[in-house]
Chain A
């Protein structure tokens, strides 16, 4: 007779102490970020989709279309085309196509690039109703940004 009664009282007490925990949380401030109104700062090493780096000296892309990134990509989502401009010592990039629908943001391309010509962007609001928007030409983007 004693043991079941103790179980009942003990069980009831455990319920009350659980409720004490939640009511304590009730009066604490909320911990969430109210996304559309406020958003977080992405950390410095954030791995977004890649973008081409501009050479501060020339204002052109650093990339010279060596295609190492193309080879290193596990998902074949990078296509690089380059051409030798007249008077230039080496090739420069003319097309840098990133098929973001296949990209898994692994960062192999950035690691493979020896001349630091690509980097991660901080963009994370990547949503669209049109699939074609995710096949992006990073070279054109760079050019457009320059203007």
Chain B
């Protein structure tokens, strides 16, 4: 494959991919310099839905900022709220009761599955297969119904509170979750037959869009992207938060680094999340879901506090800087999609347009997560 490097500008052309384009899943714009169907340079232009999420944290009280966190990455809202709540709990020294922690794990993992299902469908849509999207949404609908039953919302849950949960889970939810876990396993088998083993899909993904471990480190890629490049980095294992240390689960790692590896990581992860949910349901302790003595007006002692969680797309870390006031002095959000997008420019060089779009799909970008 000839890569046109350093060609005169009149031999290449600029293809403006987005901000309104079916493959960019939102308002990401990528300025492509093309040589025929080969990409010589891909320049992502984020910022079309920048909402100043970090700045908003500086003029809202600690509790008022909480709903914002489920709107950064709307597909894994639980994990994001978990990150922020965890940081503030660490700052204020609040102990969370065990039942709340277990419920947090269950809901976060359910949310991870639903997020991966959306990715699965949208990725297949990028590759031109429409039907798996609707099968995935059928399964996702069950998760959303379960979570709506306890949180009252289908996407932007803001279910966690400083020191616990918004409200306790009920029997409907627990029973429904058990049922869902039982139903989901055969569905994953069906996806394997329908999609994973499909020769067309394998030809499109295997060996395409290889990201080396060095590139992952260089751009700070995390989540399924880095695990698809052979590095077993998962916040749940390397710095266990909440009660993840209590569960047995594996971190799927595929060393190939191609789009297929990232695809397989996420498909395996869904199975692992089911395992975690099963264990958490079995071990779920009784007790309160809210810590006692959480002050109404929170004024954490001055200092820097950081808390990282493994969101569906990778490491999400919140750094809060408190100066002992009602509002944060600074909130820094480290979002995985931004780092994962950063490597797109380097990796996509010399690729063909559909391959590059498959690569972009395999990075699982959520645009509000990039722009914040």
Assess whether A25 is in contact with B151, with CB atoms less than 8 Å apart: no
Closest B residue to A40 using CB positions: B145
Q: Is A49 an interface residue (CB 8 A)?
A: no
Asked if A108 and B152 sit within 8 Å, CB to CB, the answer is no
28 contacts between A and B (CB under 8 A): A12-B199, A14-B198, A14-B199, A15-B198, A15-B200, A17-B197, A18-B193, A18-B194, A18-B195, A20-B193, A31-B138, A31-B141, A43-B152, A45-B148, A45-B152, A47-B152, A47-B153, A72-B63, A72-B64, A73-B64, A74-B60, A74-B64, A74-B67, A104-B67, A104-B71, A104-B156, A105-B156, A106-B67
Query: A33-79: which residues lie under 8 A (CB-CB) from chain B?
Result: 43-47, 72-74
A81 to B145, CA, bound (A): 37
- What's the minimum C-beta distance from B331 to chain A, rounded to whole angstroms? 14
Residue on A with the closest CB to B135?
A25
- A45 and B64 contact, CB distance less than 8 A: no
Q: Report A-chain residues with C-beta under 8 Å of the C-beta of B151.
A: 45, 47
Residue from A14, A22, A46, A72 within 8 A of B152 (CB atoms): A46
A107 within 8 A of B: yes
Q: Does A21 contact B (CB under 8 A)?
A: yes
B3 at the interface (CB under 8 A from A): no
B149 at the interface (CB under 8 A from A): yes
**Cα of A31 to Cα of B134 in the assembled complex, Å:** 10
B167 with A45: CB separation less than 8 A: yes
Q: Number of contacting residues on B, CB 8 A? A: 31
Whether A46 contacts B148 in the complex (CB less than 8 A), given A31-B138, A105-B153, comes out as: yes
Please tell me which one of the listed residues B71, B141, B148, B194 contacts residue A43 in the complex, with CB atoms under 8 A apart. Answer: B148
Please measure, in the bound complex, the distance between the C-alpha atom of A50 and the C-alpha atom of B60, giving whole angstroms: 21
Q: Is B158 at the interface (CB under 8 A from chain A)? A: yes
Alpha-carbon distance A107/B156, docked complex (angstroms) = 11
Q: Chain B 180-209 against A: per-residue CB contact (8 Å), 1 yes, 0 no?
A: 000000000010011101111000000000
For A48, give the chain B residue with the smallest CB separation: B152
* Contact yes or no, B158 A21, CB < 8 A: no
Q: For A43, what are the chain B residues with a Cβ–Cβ distance below 8 Å?
A: 145, 148-149, 152
Q: Which residues of B contact A46 (CB under 8 A)?
A: 148, 152
Query: Which of B56-71 touch A at CB < 8 Å?
Result: 60, 63-68, 71
The dominant DSSP class at the B interface is: helix
Asked if B16 lies at the interface with its beta carbon under 8 angstroms from chain A, I say no
Q: Does B131 contact A (CB under 8 A)?
A: yes
Min CB–CB distance A42 → chain B (angstroms): 9
Q: Are A15 and B190 in contact (CB under 8 A)?
A: no
In the complex, what residues of B have CB within 8 A of residue A18's CB? 193-195, 197-198
CA distance A37 to B64 in the complex (A): 39
Given A25-B135, A45-B167, the answer on whether A108 and B148 have CB atoms closer than 8 Å is no
Asked if B4 is an interface residue, CB under 8 A from chain A, the answer is no
B residues with a Cβ closer than 8 A to A are: 60, 63-68, 71, 131, 135, 138, 141, 145, 148-153, 156, 158, 166-167, 190, 193-195, 197-200
The complex places the Cα of A18 from the Cα of B194 at a distance, in Å, of 4
Known A22-B131, A45-B150; judge A106-B198 contact (CB<8 A): no
Contacts of A44 in B (CB 8 A): 149
Residue-wise interface mask of A (97-108) relative to B, using a CB-CB cutoff of 8 A (1 in contact, 0 not): 000000011111
Kindly provide the distance from the CB of A100 to the nearest chain B CB, expressed in whole angstroms.
Answer: 15
Q: Given A18-B193, A74-B64, A105-B153, are A11 and B158 neighbors across the interface (CB < 8 Å)?
A: no
Most buried by A among B64, B131, B152: B152
**CB <8 Å contact, B67 and A108:** yes
- Specify which of B60, B68, B138, B149 is in contact with A45 (CB 8 Å cutoff): B149
Chain A neighbourhood of B156, CB < 8 A: 104-106
Mark A3-25 against chain B: 1 for CB-CB distance below 8 A, else 0.
00000001110110110111001
A134 close to chain B: CB less than 8 A: no
B-chain residues with CB within 8 Å of residue A20 when the two chains form the complex: 193
Q: Which residue of the partner chain A has the closest CB to B161?
A: A111
A105 CA / B199 CA spacing, docked (Å): 45
Closest chain-A Cβ to B146's Cβ sits at a distance in Å of 10
Within the complex, the shortest CB–CB distance from A48 to chain B, in Å, comes to 9
Residues of B within 8 A of A106 (CB): 66-67, 156, 158
Is the CB–CB distance between B190 and A21 below 8 Å? Answer: yes
**Which residues of chain A have C-beta atoms less than 8 A from B63's C-beta?**
72, 108
Of A17, A45, A72, A108, the contact of B193 (CB 8 Å cutoff)? A17
Q: What is the CA–CA distance of A74 and B194 in the complex, to the nearest angstrom? A: 46
Closest A-B pairs by Cβ, 3 of them: A106-B67, A11-B199, A47-B152
- Quick check: B200 and A107 within 8 Å, CB to CB? no
Question: Cβ of B200 and Cβ of A120 under 8 Å apart?
Answer: no
> Is the Cβ of B138 less than 8 Å from the Cβ of A10?
no
Tell me how far the C-beta of A71 lies from the nearest C-beta in chain B, rounded to whole angstroms.
9
18 additional A-B pairs beyond A74-B64, A106-B158, beta carbons within 8 Å, are A10-B199, A14-B197, A14-B198, A14-B199, A15-B198, A22-B131, A31-B141, A43-B145, A45-B152, A46-B148, A72-B64, A73-B64, A74-B60, A74-B67, A104-B71, A105-B156, A111-B166, A120-B152
